[in-house]
Amino acid sequence: MNYAPLFNPQTVAVVGVSLSNDRHPANVIYNKLHLRYPVKVYPVNPHGGMLHHDKVHRDISEIPVKIDLAVIAVRAEHVPGILESCIRSKVGGATIISGGFAESGRPDLQNRLVELAGASRFPFIGPNCLGIYVPNRFDTFFLPGERLIRPDPGNVAIVSQSGGVLVDQLVKFAEQGVGLSLAVSIGNKAQIREIDLLTYLAAESDTRVIAFYIEGFEKNEGRRFVQAATEISKPIVVLKAGKTAEGSRAASSHTASLAGDYRVFSEIAAQHGIIEARNEYEMVSFCESLSCYQKSITGKIGIITVSGGHGVLSTDACAEHGLQVPRLSEHWQKEIRNYLSPSVQPIASLANPIDLTGSAKDDDFIAAARALSQTPEIDCVIMLLLPYSPGITSDLGAQLSYVYQQEGKPLVAYVPHQEKYRMLIEGFELNNVPVAASIEGAVMMAEALRRCPVC
């Protein structure tokens, strides 16, 4: 089955536009595509007419060009007929936004869609979904464009059963500076499911990390998903909902999913190299870290800071996440001290965490980072930067990134995400070094590298 028309369309038909209600979901999608994206879009409504001076076609078969993607936003009972018209017109695929199928007690209607599409090998996403978003290319979310927070293009693909969770994740990805290759809301996943997209994204050149928000699987589907994941050489991050009996019931009413035995899934996933995020914040941190580095670590962390308290907090966080903060040998402590500023040499604590104190300057951070990047006692460096420290300049992020480029040992930074520190943060991000907005986030990024078997 060819998924390219779904994710890289040149022509799009939006079926269900209203001639009287510009806030209708189909109108929101049509207007956004028409005004913001480099695709050719055509409105469809059985009554025909004009919409903002554009001809409204009565049926998709009337459109004078071949359509790659149909976005369907009509009442559920009308969807099978529209799907039949798409198949007859040789449309490439469809995104079915409409709800009112298995999630609301109409599995018969949903099964009809699957039968129609299966007989013709016609791919569709949904129903009961938000749709597809590809940065700078197209967006079928029925949310007003001015309200959406959009991450920049990047190499993380995210697949979500929930449209709401997906939009929330886009906000967090944008805040954290994580770029996307693709975002897909699959809703009831009547035809195209996680396994299908896992296989597609494994071969998709723009994607480095594949992330999933999953509410449930069909019987034995979870095992098949894990088995498929073992054959893929890209990091896979999963946020699994429905962990409790109450959550399972909520999942069933949301997208007609069977949450299954979460404990069994979690244990099998861990054994087969899938990186499970315990919450949405871990998902963002894991994705950012894995999008930057293709190197796994054993979990021996070196910490550099100007604040003893931050060093203690990060050490505790490392222990909670199963990471080690080994004491540096006297040899390496001496090596570091030799390259520090004269004012910092007598007062710095170098056992690990390395506390350079508030007197530290850029060169002290660089010397400490270079030494930790060369010692075999450490396989990842966490840099805790407090930009209000008087000796730090806005250029330090770029300088530390250069150390990583020379030495090759993963570096993770913590910098408070405030606009006045943007230049410091960008010095890391533009050089593909992940920057967390919290100490806990930085530790999560290091944990992701430890848990990634294919980095």
**DSSP codes of every residue in 272-321:** TT-EEESSHHHHHHHHHHHHH-------BEEEEES-HHHHHHHHHHHHHT
Average predicted confidence (pLDDT) for the chain: 93
Q: Which CATH class is domain 149-292?
A: alpha beta
Contacts of 280 (CB under 8 A, 6+ apart): 165, 168, 169, 172, 239
Q: Do 1-127 and 149-292 show the same overall fold?
A: yes
Q: What percent of the chain has pLDDT over 70?
A: 96
pLDDT at 267: 87
Taking only the tens place, the pLDDT of each residue in 34-53 is 999 999 999 999 999 999 88
Domain 1-127 has CATH 3.90.550.10: no
Angle, nearest 10°, between helix axes 280-292 and 163-176?
50
Write out pLDDT tens, residues 171-209: 999 999 999 999 999 999 999 999 999 999 999 999 999
Span 303-343, pLDDT tens digits: 999 999 999 999 999 999 999 999 999 999 999 999 999 99
The reported pTM is 0.92
Domain ranges, ordered by start, for the chain: 1-127, 149-292, 294-451
CATH among 2.30.110.10, 3.40.718.10, 3.40.50.261, 3.40.50.720 for 294-451: 3.40.50.261
Measured CA to CA in angstroms, residue 26 lies from 91, 182, 409 at distances of 18, 21, 49
Confidence of residue 244 (pLDDT cuts 50, 70, 90): low
Q: What digits encode the pLDDT tens for the residues 92-131?
A: 999 999 999 999 999 999 999 999 999 999 999 999 999 9
pLDDT interval class at 258 (50, 70, 90): very low
